[in-house]
Structure 1
Amino acid sequence: MYAVTYGIALYGIEGLVIGIETDVQTGLPSFEMVGLPASSIREAKERVRAALVNSGFTWPRSRITVSLTPADWKKEGSGLDLPIAIAILIASEQLAPIPHTTVLLGELALDGSVRTFKGLYASVKCASDLGAERIIFPITEGIEFDPPCDSILTVQIASLLETVQILKGHAIHRDDLNTPRSSVLIGAKTPRHEIISQLDDQFPDFHDIVGQEHAKRAMLISAIGGHHLLLYGPPGSGKSMLAERFASILPNLTRIEYAELRHIYSIAGFSLPEQPKRPFRSPHHTITAQGLLGGGSQPRPGEISLAHHGILFLDELPEFSRKALEGLRQPLEAKKITVSRSSYTMTFPCNFYFIAAMNPCPCGYHGYSSKIHHCRCSIRDIDRYRAKISGPVLDRIDMTLWVTPTPQTAWSNFTGTNELSSEVMRVMVQEAIEFKNERESSSHFTNSSFPQETVWSMFAFDKASQDLLLSAANRLHLSNRSLRKITEVARSIADLEHSIIVRVEHVAEALQYRSYT
């Protein structure tokens, strides 16, 4: 007898409905699986056999053929165990056929229990997006997603036997088994852009940093406009401390942003904390280009995608491999990365705040001298060190900032009451963003992501500021990209000052953030 059930296979961040066509015919007992199954799926044969028998069902002593469609796509993962088992039960007439709008997800244990698997959340989300009306998946804590409608029934099960009972229409007496329609769906009855609160103590506080007012202001501007930031200066000047506190002043995650994050982390096999917060990713400089950008034989998001809607902090920037740094060119501008291999082409989202930190030279003290430290590097050493970061990569960084250690006088006068706190800075960022949204009647774009053709019409520069921009472009030989980034930063500075018009002083400050000496 012939039967078909449906599951989900993931390719990058996208999902594909997999039809499990099963045929049970008389003949020598065998179990064949076709349709480009990966080793994890081929091994499902023994898991399914043991789970069926240990659940009290009869294993067909017949010729069993399972075809995974579409046949020209390689299928990976263990989430197809459950639909394969149900298809065999239907084909062997131990269970009636089920509607094609039902999607089954789950890995089987030998005792018949159903386990979660890597990518479960993403699979459930894809099933809902692809039109499933009922999704059956393993019991898991806090499974939430944002469906296209509120008519999807989700059913969480603990075993193969429970799955069969549900498909037969029998009630299972467990409070958490059948979730009411839309009861666990993020966004079903709430706005997609509703703010998710986050605890104030999730990140270190800027109040801990003495002085560094110019650096804190640069952080404010970066947070308002979504600008990438390079901090450079001698060791111990506070570059890493500033970066680690940056997330504490960012706007809270929206529900749709959190749903996108859960999708990416599910594919990568990671979990997010129950209390939503923006991710802060700080990989070591020995990371490979693939680990940073994503890819692999099985498409997997890299660190830049794991930093989606959060912060990617690269400390000791020149120590990263040239290949990894050059790979940042596309994602820094496009907010996504396309990974192409011989067998696939995948696009991963990576809309992140990029913060980098570096020393000015190999010894770290070029441009800064004290009674204890002075630069010992030759001009050739300095040039070689800085050449590790190419011009095109630097050109894509909106702001560069020279950071020096806090003077001793600031420490001696420190009372703990005059420092800007993260709470105060976050309010300043939120007010500036609200001002921007009112100014342009839209919250779709940050200042750093406006289409180039609309920058001049949307940013409202006065005549003097335009003249200063053009003069600087001619004298400093600025590229078109550099000129655009200066205008974007100037607009963010004006928003911080609640100024509708971008004035000369805003442009002058933005020009200072393009220096790299």
Structure 2
Amino acid sequence: MQIFSLIESRNRTQEIEIEVSAVSGPSQIMIVGCASQSVKESAIRIQSALRVCGIRLPVSSTLLVNLRPTELSKSSSGIDLAIVLAILIEIEKIEPSNLFGSDASNKKICVYGGVGLKGDIIRPKDTATLLCKTDFDFCVCAEGGGTLTGKQWHLRHIGELFESPNWAEPSNKLQFQRPKLPLLTWGEPASRLVELLALWPAHALVAGPPGSGKTTLSDTLWALMKGPRSDELSDILEWSDSTNTAWRPKVQPHHTMTYLSIVGGGSHITPGEMTRAHLGLLVLDEYLEFSKQVQEALREPLESSKFRLVRAGQAAQIMPCAFQMYATANLCPCGRYLPNDSTKCRCSSQKIYRSLEKISGPATDRIDVIAFSDKWREANARKDLGALVNRIEAARDWIEDYVRDTECQVWKRRWQKFPQLEFSGAAQRAFAGIQESSLRRSESVRQAAIALACLENSSVVEGIHIEEAKEFCIKPHQALLEARSAL
């Protein structure tokens, strides 16, 4: 039988196996395995708690407690209870089969809780954070904790270990719920952008005048994202830094935050905002106000959805960041300058140039979609969000059915898979004309065109889909770069 406890190591929940062996020596408890001073001190608390329960340590024997793996530094207030249970089994005060059944030797058991001097069970502050990210056959812990799977036994005092266990089903089940949709309606340009980004989790930059709805659109996009799969649950819980995650994470750092807080790192490597947004939405409001260093640091995460952090004296860590980025920007101090319409802006050319100079060309090339919000409020025909939800969900269902029925090749963009659709003759001719641009731009157009075809439940990409994809993925990029070079 294996008894495990949990610690937080290298920003991940780490399982620690508890081994106990009686060796010749003075009557005491000795904890080894790279234990911190606070963990070593738990031997005194445990010995006091056992004495209160009438349990004496074996005479002329040292109980050697080993915490595996031994190379990890261990500091946790929740290991005490696991050590107590392992000791009681080793000195034959408890029969494992009485607690965990006749096949206890084949079970994986998690024990987590602190122990007071009089044997009372203390619930550590990180109980919910650690236990909800684990998977065990049995979980023994303080009241208020519990894993998502396996039978649960909540204790108040170590004396209850000598009684018949009161196993219960998991009570800490997490159910994802879609956020409430904002009570808004969007015009045709904005609603079409939302449809595309909700189905195709691409990176987007929206520029436009203040009050046009750029930031508000991020709430709508977040609510319309595809629901997380069960296999994504552990990663979302692991990195989102929240035990109450009811949906994909939405992280919106302020533009004054430092490079280190966005990317992560430090003397003891800590995840940054990019990793906290893993499998969710990263909203960069006032994108051009973020430092140049932050914009350049986005290059690798935007393209590969992960990056490698290396710090002196520490093992390198691969940090996941498969987020969808939604950025907003004002292209001048007054916010009214746009490459396609500069008549409403009263800023000087010098001020506009200083704003556009903040744009990183390589980082912007990795942004799939650029849109301008100046026409959003002028649109007359408005779509209800309920209709948008139905249309997007219908497209997702159509993709699942098409992939299952045709067994076609599939490509994936973060959490959404797409079929490799055929291109009509008109689509091939339209696509051939854009392949002279950067490879990233042409690939963005190809993916956007397939997503637009899926929104219409079409198994063939037509020329009209390519032309619309160019409006999202090529023309705004060109307009932005031309405006910058013209000033």
Aligned position for 2:151: 154
- Contact 2:410–2:420 under 8 Å retained in 1: no
Question: What's the CA shift for 1:97?
Answer: 6.9
Structure 1 distance, partners of 2:108, 2:95, is 13
Question: What's the CA shift for 1:96?
Answer: 5.3
Structure 1 distance, partners of 2:160, 2:307, is 39
Q: Does 1:171 align with 2:164?
A: yes
Is there any run of 5+ residues in structure 1 with no aligned partner, and where?
146-152, 188-195
One-letter code aligned to 1:205: L
Aligned position for 2:74: 75
Aligned position for 2:403: 440
Aligned length: 460
- For residues 50-89 of structure 1, the aligned pairs below 5 Å read 51-53=49-51, 57-58=55-56, 65-89=64-88
Structure 1 distance, partners of 2:408, 2:278, is 18
Question: What's the CA shift for 1:419?
Answer: 3.1
Match of 1:473 among 425, 435, 449: 435
Aligned position for 1:150: none
Is there any run of 5+ residues in structure 2 with no aligned partner, and where?
98-103, 481-487
Question: What's the CA shift for 1:102?
Answer: 4.5
TM-score (norm 2): 0.80
Structure 2 distance, partners of 1:31, 1:450, is 49
One-letter code aligned to 1:316: E
Structure 1 distance, partners of 2:368, 2:219, is 19
Aligned position for 1:464: 426
Aligned position for 1:498: 457
Q: Does 1:352 align with 2:341?
A: no
Question: What's the CA shift for 1:513?
Answer: 1.6
Relative distance call for 1:51 and 1:343 in structure 2 (3 A) is farther
Aligned position for 1:322: 292
SS in 2 for 1:261: helix
Structure 2 distance, partners of 1:313, 1:512, is 22
- For residues 81-160 of structure 1, the aligned pairs below 5 Å read 81-90=80-89, 94-95=93-94, 101-110=107-116, 111=118, 112-118=120-126, 120=128, 122-123=130-131, 125-128=133-136, 133-140=137-144, 143-145=147-149, 153-160=150-157
- For residues 484-495 of structure 1, the aligned pairs below 5 Å read 484-495=443-454
Relative distance call for 1:498 and 1:155 in structure 2 (3 A) is closer
SS in 2 for 1:245: helix
Match of 2:384 among 421, 424, 427: 421
Relative distance call for 1:445 and 1:313 in structure 2 (3 A) is farther
Structure 2 distance, partners of 1:369, 1:4, is 69
Match of 1:33 among 22, 31, 34: 31
Aligned position for 1:339: 309
Larger proportion of strand: 2
Cα shift readout 1:465-516 (whole Å, capped 9, x = no counterpart): 2222222232xxx221221111001111111222222122211111122323
Question: What's the CA shift for 1:72?
Answer: 1.8
- For residues 255-294 of structure 1, the aligned pairs below 5 Å read 255-265=230-240, 268=241, 270-272=242-244, 276-294=246-264
Question: What's the CA shift for 1:45?
Answer: 4.1
SS in 1 for 2:322: coil
Cα shift readout 1:429-460 (whole Å, capped 9, x = no counterpart): 11122222333337996763599xx99x9231
One-letter code aligned to 1:434: D
Relative distance call for 1:91 and 1:178 in structure 2 (3 A) is closer
Question: What's the CA shift for 1:239?
Answer: 0.5
Structure 2 distance, partners of 1:163, 1:328, is 53
Relative distance call for 1:184 and 1:444 in structure 2 (3 A) is farther
- Contact 2:6–2:112 under 8 Å retained in 1: no
Relative distance call for 1:163 and 1:488 in structure 2 (3 A) is farther
Relative distance call for 1:25 and 1:322 in structure 2 (3 A) is farther
SS in 2 for 1:85: helix
TM-score (norm 1): 0.76
Relative distance call for 1:464 and 1:443 in structure 2 (3 A) is closer
- Contact 1:82–1:104 under 8 Å retained in 2: no
- For residues 192-341 of structure 1, the aligned pairs below 5 Å read 198=177, 202-207=180-185, 209=186, 211=187, 213-265=188-240, 268=241, 270-272=242-244, 276-296=246-266, 300-341=270-311
Relative distance call for 1:90 and 1:382 in structure 2 (3 A) is same
- Contact 1:15–1:126 under 8 Å retained in 2: no
Question: What's the CA shift for 1:464?
Answer: 2.4
Question: What's the CA shift for 1:157?
Answer: 1.8
Structure 2 distance, partners of 1:262, 1:483, is 35
- Contact 2:131–2:146 under 8 Å retained in 1: no
One-letter code aligned to 2:280: G
Aligned position for 1:404: 374
Relative distance call for 1:405 and 1:50 in structure 2 (3 A) is farther
- Contact 1:206–1:422 under 8 Å retained in 2: yes
Relative distance call for 1:86 and 1:299 in structure 2 (3 A) is farther
